[in-house]
Structure 1
Amino acid sequence: MSLPTQPRGRPRTGARVAAVQALFQAEASGDSPETVLDQFIRHRLGQMPGQGGFEDGRVPEADVALFAGIVRRAATRSDDLDAIITAHLAEAWPLAKLDPVLRALLRAATAELRDGREPPAKVIIREYLDIAHGFFTAEEPRFAAGVLDALARSLRPGDFPA
């Protein structure tokens, strides 16, 4: 898994990047989401003197409360979120067939879109597309854009006036 570059001064973006990484790690390692949350909060979030930055697997600027909220919502409602995501995928592309980082990204975004009203859906889509472009260089960001747009229109129709 390559690491995207993060613009300075964007703690909400940092939280979302870390949430995607944590959800990926929990799935790949089989560790509980709470264990991964603890690991991230202790060892990967925030500035540490003498430690590397984002390029070394750290997320120096991250809104920890937002990060923890996204991961917890995605983990505790994973079956519901997966059903919502699956309903927006083509039959030829089941959730299990997707790249695990893309799966984590869609789960994090769906948790935010489903369980909140702020920020607006278009902001969430833009943030997760920026993250997708950081992780992927092929067709995945375009795929994510289509799925995220459909999810947002379904979960937050009021954010998309006719």
Structure 2
Amino acid sequence: MSKAEKRSSARLAAVQALYQMELSGSGVVDATIEFERFWNGKEIEGLSFKPVEETFFRSIIEGVVREQKTVDRRIDEALAKGWPLKRIETVLRAILRAAAFELLFRKDVPPRVTITEYVDVTRAFYDEDEPGLVNAVLDTLARSDRAEELAARN
């Protein structure tokens, strides 16, 4: 598997871990241990879980927890008035948090890559309006924080 494929898998796994952490109240250490022991690169009940770039996976979940106040505030600012993050469904909230963390704090990843990757993650869970919502929120954040990079043509 290429590094890009492992990072894509890490993003999906981070969203799943953040979702599980929110539902169970578990912390980063427990989520990381569970993922590495039971999910990473394993097949469970006929489902294959692709290997991830573990450092990138940890960076996302640790970063979301560490920077959650900033991440949540910035997502709230990008969402439509009257729809704060706390009103968003749990999986979608995990997607937005992981993506916003990456856009705001992982300057080593081009913003277009982050947006595309998390819209794709959203499509793994939803097939209606949610990918468009994620795209719009992330585009707003990227235009605010990384406008020069978006303006540059790759």
Q: Could you say what secondary structure the match of 1:61 adopts? A: coil
Map 1:121-160 to 2 at 5 A: 121-160=111-150
1:153 Cα offset (Å): 1.2
1:77 is aligned to 2:67: yes
Which residue does the alignment assign to 2:11?
16
Higher helix share: 2
- The separation in 2 between residues aligned to 1:139 and 1:15, in whole angstroms, is 24
Q: Which amino acid aligns with 1:15?
A: A
Q: Which amino acid aligns with 1:17?
A: L
1:61 Cα offset (Å): 2.0
- The separation in 2 between residues aligned to 1:76 and 1:93, in whole angstroms, is 24
TM-score when normalising by structure 1: 0.86
1:156 Cα offset (Å): 1.2
1:93 is aligned to 2:83: yes
Q: Could you say what secondary structure the match of 1:129 adopts? A: helix
1:24 Cα offset (Å): 0.5
1:67 is aligned to 2:57: yes
- The separation in 2 between residues aligned to 1:18 and 1:38, in whole angstroms, is 13
1:60 Cα offset (Å): 2.1
TM-score when normalising by structure 2: 0.90
* Structure 1 alignment gaps of length 5 or more: 1-7
- Sequence identity (%): 35
> Which structure exhibits the higher relative contact order, with contacts defined as CA atoms closer than 8 Å and separated by 6 or more residues?
1
Which residue does the alignment assign to 1:5?
none
Q: Could you say what secondary structure the match of 2:127 adopts? A: coil
- The separation in 1 between residues aligned to 2:18 and 2:49, in whole angstroms, is 15
Q: Which amino acid aligns with 1:126?
A: T
1:38 is aligned to 2:33: yes
* Structure 2 alignment gaps of length 5 or more: none
- The separation in 2 between residues aligned to 1:77 and 1:117, in whole angstroms, is 15
